[in-house]
């Protein structure tokens, strides 16, 4: 009897262990006869990988899954996103390739994936329309009306998806998260839309981190929805983080996402506000990677003292940023390279600003991050870049790392006292910021 009970317990335990597994089957047809030997399935955060051999074109995965999430199906040089759910027990994938390239892919018996692809298509359409509206609308009398019309259509499209795919995570959670608030009074369209933007996000559910919808909501807000007032920016950060604290994992990743979003968009003032918030809440956030990034960035944020750079100039003589700062009323620290297309596009404007303000005390210390010294020197000579140019080719310390440079060109303004005035200097505000520093 005891043996039978132990056997029953073992069977039930085994069944329980696989209760949330789904069987994902697939078939690859190669038009040239070259079928990849294996296919892999990765979780969207790259934390797990399952590999399956391809036998006679067929493959299968036994995927352990408890909550809906995004996965990447990878073969050859192709990566295809799949939204998988425990509710879809046996989805199947049919793939056609030719010359190592994907020609066609279809997914069957996967209601969650179909719902998700439909949702993402609508999000791309309407979020781009919203971005254009908020950045371009300049006729105040029409802005509210146009936005109200756009939001109404967006809401209706998402409501249709919710009705069609009822019961899926996409419909019940992701769609609901994105449904916009539509004001009854068109004059209040923008304010009510902003105020209700995150209201339907289930912050206590860490499954929202398994696809890009929530992250892209944060990106959209920092990109074009936030009102450019310090009080509004401060209130937004505190309110979002208070909501995210419903789940410690969501709080940690939300903090990381917001930091990356602000850094990517060069939101200098908001970054300063966020860093102040983080320093008071770092224990609760518990994000070691974010801690390192903020520690590195904080030393080069406005209000801090510049970090010296000692390098060889274009003639081969050693010089320093300190030497330039000490001799200037305003120093533009420029990180660039001649093989960077954005740098080449902005260089005429930088050169024009130098020629206009050099007599008033502006100097430039330009650090090249490229690997070809000859190409760098030739570009400087051909374009008449007569300021201090140094190369990063020689030296153990890396000034780009010191200054947390992740893209070129990066323009940092330093005042006559050696204090960083602007950590991010956009090209459309270059002259304005230079004049601010010169007039200090």
Is pLDDT at 45 greater than 70 in this prediction? yes
Boundaries of CATH 3.40.30.10 in the chain? 310-438
The whole-angstrom separation of Cα 74 and Cα 80 is 6
Numbered ranges of CATH 2.60.40.10 in the chain: 2-109
Confidence at residue 20, expressed as pLDDT on a 0 to 100 scale? 72
Is the pLDDT assigned to residue 244 strictly greater than 60? Answer: yes
How confident is the model over 270-281, as pLDDT tens digits? 999 999 999 999
Can you give the pTM of this predicted structure?
0.87
Q: Which residue in 56, 63, 51 sits closest to 92, CA to CA?
A: 63
pLDDT in tens, 220-232: 999 999 988 999 9
pLDDT of residue 245: 98
Q: How confident is the model at residue 395 (pLDDT cuts 50, 70, 90)?
A: low
Classify domain 310-438 at the CATH class level. alpha beta
pLDDT of residue 394: 58
Which fold does the domain 2-109 belong to in CATH? Immunoglobulin-like (2.60.40)
**pLDDT tens digits, 342-385:** 999 999 999 999 999 999 999 999 999 988 899 999 999 999 99
Q: Give the integer Cα–Cα distance in Å for 343 and 259.
A: 25
């Amino acid at each position: 009897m005891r043996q039978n009970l132990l056997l029953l317990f073992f069977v039930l335990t085994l069944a329980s262990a696989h209760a949330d597994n789904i069987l994902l089957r697939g078939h690859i047809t190669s038009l040239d006869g070259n079928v990849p030997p294996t296919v892999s399935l990765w979780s969207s955060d790259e934390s797990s990988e399952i590999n399956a051999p391809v036998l006679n074109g067929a493959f299968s995965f036994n995927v352990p899954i408890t909550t809906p999430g995004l996965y990447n199906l990878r073969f050859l040089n192709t990566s295809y996103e799949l939204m998988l759910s425990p509710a879809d027990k046996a989805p199947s994938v049919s793939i056609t390739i030719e010359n190592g390239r994907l020609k066609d892919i279809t997914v069957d018996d996967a209601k969650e994936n179909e719902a998700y692809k439909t949702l993402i298509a609508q999000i791309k359409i309407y979020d781009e329309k919203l971005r254009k509206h908020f950045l371009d609308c300049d006729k105040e009398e029409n802005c509210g009306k146009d936005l109200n019309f756009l939001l109404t259509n967006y809401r209706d499209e998402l409501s249709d998806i919710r009705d069609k795919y009822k019961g899926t995570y996409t419909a019940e959670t992701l769609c609901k998260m994105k449904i916009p608030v539509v004001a009854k009074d068109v004059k209040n369209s923008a304010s009510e839309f902003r105020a209700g933007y995150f209201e339907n996000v289930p912050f206590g559910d860490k499954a929202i981190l398994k696809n890009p919808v929530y992250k892209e909501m944060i990106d959209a807000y920092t990109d074009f929805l936030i009102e450019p007032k310090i009080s509004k920016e401060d209130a937004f950060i505190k309110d979002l983080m208070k909501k995210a604290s419903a789940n410690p994992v969501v709080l940690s990743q939300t903090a990381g996402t917001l930091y990356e979003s602000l850094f990517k968009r060069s939101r200098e003032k908001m970054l300063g506000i966020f860093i102040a918030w983080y320093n008071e809440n770092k224990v609760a956030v518990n994000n070691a990677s974010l801690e390192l990034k903020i520690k590195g960035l904080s030393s080069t944020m406005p209000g801090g003292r510049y970090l010296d750079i000692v390098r060889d100039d274009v003639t081969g003589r050693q010089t320093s940023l300190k030497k330039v700062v000490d001799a200037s009323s305003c120093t533009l620290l420029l990180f660039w390279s001649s093989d960077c297309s954005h740098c080449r596009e902005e260089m005429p404007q930088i050169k024009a600003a130098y020629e206009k303000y050099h007599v008033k005390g502006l100097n430039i210390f330009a650090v090249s991050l490229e690997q070809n010294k000859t190409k760098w020197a030739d570009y400087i000579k051909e374009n008449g870049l007569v300021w201090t140019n140094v190369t990063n080719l020689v030296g153990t310390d890396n000034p780009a790392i010191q200054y947390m440079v992740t893209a070129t060109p990066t323009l940092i303004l330093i005042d006559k006292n050696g204090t960083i005035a602007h950590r991010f200097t956009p090209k459309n505000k270059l002259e304005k910021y230079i004049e601010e520093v010169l007039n200090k």
